[in-house]
Amino acid sequence: MSNTICKNNNHTSMIYLYGIANCDQVRLAKKFLTAQSVNYEFIDFKKQLDETLLRQLVDLVGWDKLINKRARTYGQLSDKNKDKIIQQDLTVVLNNSSLIKRPILQIQTQDKQRYLLGFNEKNYRALCQIQ
């Protein structure tokens, strides 16, 4: 039997899933969390990405991990925009939210934050302490 919500040291965690609704990996993560009765808030990059959120994600995972350089969107960027990404120009990412690796699962407790980048059921189970 699984936990109904992620727990850490008997404190309830705040759980956020960031991504794009029609992304296959995001759909898998949402399906898994829902099947495990994990309460989470979904933040859709296509609807809710702004400079403040992007800066929070950069602080959480780091710029290099956040940007998906294998994405089709990245390959279609001009050399000028690729250079801007190397210089950590938020504007390019704000205008092309598909550049962000996804999903990002963030678990926030009173004393720390943890995250997972991408969907892996085994890692999600471990982070959420689901048997």
Question: Does 128 participate in catalysis according to the annotation?
Answer: no
Cα separation, 49 vs 54, in Å, equals 7
Count CB atoms within 10 A of the CB of residue 61: 19
* pLDDT band at residue 11 using 50, 70 and 90 as cut-offs: low
Cα separation, 39 vs 6, in Å, equals 8
**Would you list the DSSP string of 61-127?**
H-HHHHB-TTSHHHHTS-HHHHHHHHTT-HHHHHH-GGGB-S-EEEEE-SS-EEEEES--HHHHHHH
What ranges do the domains of the chain cover?
7-128
Query: How many angstroms separate the Cα of 14 from the Cα of each of 39, 46, 92, 96, 107?
Result: 8, 22, 29, 27, 6
| Highest CATH level, class, for 7-128 | alpha beta
Kindly report, residue by residue over 20-59, the tens digit of the pLDDT: 999 999 999 999 999 988 999 999 999 999 999 999 999 9
pLDDT of residue 113: 85
First to last CA, the chain: 7
Kindly report, residue by residue over 102-116, the tens digit of the pLDDT: 999 998 888 888 899
Marked catalytic residue, from 15, 23, 116, 127 = 23
Cα separation, 82 vs 71, in Å, equals 12
Phi and psi at residue 64, to the nearest 5°: -65, -35
Listed range (4-8, 10-14, 73-77) with the worst mean pLDDT: 4-8
Omega cis (within 30) before 103: yes
**What predicted TM-score, i.e. pTM, was given to this entire model?**
0.86
